[in-house]
Amino acid sequence: PGRILGAIHLKDVVKQGIREKLESLRQAGIRTVMVTGDNPVTAAAVAAEVGVDDFLAEATPERKMEYVKSMKAEGYMVAMVGDGTNDAPALASADVAVAMNTGTMAAREAGNMVDLDSQPTKLIEIVEVGKQILITRGALTTFSVTNDVAKYFAIIPAMFMAAYPGLNAL
């Protein structure tokens, strides 16, 4: 008769603190989707552990790229984080593509930027910096418009006074 001598439990290692960081993305109104080549059982377990909003399992490189393109077609701004050659087409199709430094050359070349620390949650910092840039840009635009209007209030009366010297008497 057969006897069980032992059991081995294999599990993907999830980076510490990722659940909290994904929650902060959710609070910022950003939906997270894990698109993976893993089987549905593994994908569901990892998705539940890290707290993504949704997942797509058994995704081929073409399916990953199609998913990114479909989200963009629906009007979403799509950010993608990846590290493998199989991620390269989707990275190249995304609006913002972050490749892990520890990833393949194909992924690094397809990304807009390379995360030197290889921390998938770096996207949160990128979003925060992007928001600050937009706020600063908005403030600069407001200043520029105000400055232009002020110049016109100085230039137009001066032009009339030069064209009609009699106005100086007023």
Please report, for the domain that includes residue 81, its CATH number. 3.40.50.1000
Tens-digit pLDDT profile for residues 69-89: 999 999 999 989 999 999 999
pLDDT of the residue at 128: 76
Q: Is the dihedral of CA 132, 133, 138, 141 positive or negative?
A: positive
pTM here is 0.67
Contacts 24+ apart (CB under 8 A), 15-22: 15/119, 15/120, 15/121, 17/121, 18/50, 18/51, 18/120, 18/121, 19/49, 19/50, 19/51, 21/121, 21/124, 22/50, 22/51, 22/52, 22/121
Residues 116 and 152 in one domain: no
Q: Same structural domain for residues 32 and 109?
A: yes
| pLDDT for the residue 43 | 93
Closest by CA to 124, choosing from 90, 103, 96, is 96
Report d(CA 142, CA 157) in Å as an integer: 23
In this model, does residue 136 exceed pLDDT 90? no
79 and 153 housed in the same domain: no
Whether 138 maps to a domain, the answer reads yes
Flag whether 95 is in a domain: yes
State whether 160 and 136 are in the same domain: yes
Confidence bin at 160 (pLDDT 50/70/90) = confident
Cα gap 21→130, rounded to integer Å: 17
CA distances to 71, 133, 155 from 144, rounded to whole Å, are: 35, 16, 16
Phi and psi torsions of 115, nearest 5°:
-85, 105
Residue 26 inside a domain? The answer is: yes
**Are 36 and 70 within one domain?**
yes
Residue 119 has what pLDDT? 75
Looking at the structure, do residues 51 and 103 belong to the same domain, yes or no?
yes
Is 4 inside any structural domain? no
Task: List pLDDT tens digits, range 123-133.
Answer: 777 777 777 77
- In sequence order, what are the beta bridge partners of 97? 80
* Residues 73, 112 within the same domain: yes
**Count of structural domains, the chain:** 2
Domain containing 90: what range?
Answer: 18-120
